Amino acid sequence: MTALVKAKPEVGLWMERAPVPEIGPDDVLIRIRKTGICGTDVHIWNWDDWAQRTVPVPLITGHEFAGEIVDMGRNVEGLEIGQRCSGEGHLIGKKSRQSRAGKFHLDPQTRGIGVNEPGAFAEYLRLPAFNVVPLPDAIDDEIGAILDPLGNAVHTALSFDLVGEDVLITGAGPIGIMAAAVARHVGARHVVITDVNQDRLDLAARVTDVVPVNVAQQDLREVEGALRMKEGFDVGLEMSGSQAALDQMVENLVMGGRIALLGIPPGKSPVDWSRIVFKAITLKGVYGREIFETWYKMIAMLENGLDVRGVITHRFPVSDYVEAFETMRSGQSGKVVLDWT
């Protein structure tokens, strides 16, 4: 089969021939149709410090996908050959306290396809049947291929009650934009998204009903005044990994405000904890998706009017993967999808 492989410990990925994975009794074999390129994949392409510490070489990368089941192990029940699916890319253990309590997303033994284990940038993927998420007819392969990052957005956005609340999102990358769409869908009053990349702010405004703010050019306090917000934002969703963005969020939250943190800073950052303490702010770190509650909720929302297709800005055949990655690395795109058909 054809696969994109991190074959050497240097910048890039390489298209190679690889054997079709052999499945075990509890696995399925998925024929990949579409894959999304994630920021994690860009880190692996760039071979930065995180990738060098984390990713074994050689490895088939990729973890955002949609496809169909073409083979199943003898113990698999409840799935069918030919069934369309996506899947949870976090492979969990079964022995930890968190896992045994059903809090699968908090299992410390978690390993990721395309990061620690062979991934989805290939014609075929082996996946435990436990991780398979069937796709309803209302969700096509292109949207199915971005359910993983949409799940990050849904997990973050639904960390706190948003009904009637004013929401500040820092970071207008694809996940931040999708979180804005989710916040509007579930009933937030005002949703403001900030960035310094005007192209992504423009994309956010096209995808959903949001107030985009370029903080390099506009004062966030003026925006609050124009929206007649007397005390600040109720909920913050930090998607950028920028310390400056987090500091600004803290300053613009109400007393007792709540922040969900998905963005990952590049290193250690100085935090003014006294401001967080004296404003009685609640912080919640968010990792991945709640398995499988997030999947249930986002599929239900997609079936009932949530529209995030506009966040996909570029589509390439897998043969053009180098151009696809360069597009993603440029910072001037939304989601980039590769076609494996």
Dist. CA 159–CA 292, nearest whole Å: 15
Say how many C-beta atoms besides its own lie within 10 A of residue 341's C-beta: 11
Q: Is 63 a catalytic residue?
A: no
Nearest residue to 56 via CA among 115, 113, 10: 115
Name the β-bridge partners of 34.
Answer: 66, 339
Residues 142, 143, 146, 148, CA torsion sign:
negative
Q: Is the distance from CB of 78 to CB of 128 less than 8 angstroms?
A: no
With beta carbons less than 8 A apart as the criterion, state whether 121 and 4 touch. Answer: yes
Tell me whether residue 54 is one of the annotated catalytic residues: no
Q: Between the CA of residue 324 and those of 128, 148, 178, 315, what are the distances in Å?
A: 29, 19, 21, 8
Distance CA 162, CA 171 (A): 18
- 3-state SS string over 60-97? ECCCEEEEEEEEECCCCCCCCCCCEEEECCEECCCCCH
Q: Is 98 exposed, middle or buried (0-12, 13-18, 19+ CB in 10 A)?
A: middle
CA distance 23 to 18: 15
List 2, 43, 54, 314, catalytic entry: 43
State the residue for tokens 């849904």. Answer: 154
Q: Which of 40, 61, 156, 294 is catalytic?
A: 40
Report whether 175 contacts 153 (CB < 8 A).
yes
Catalytic residues: 40, 43
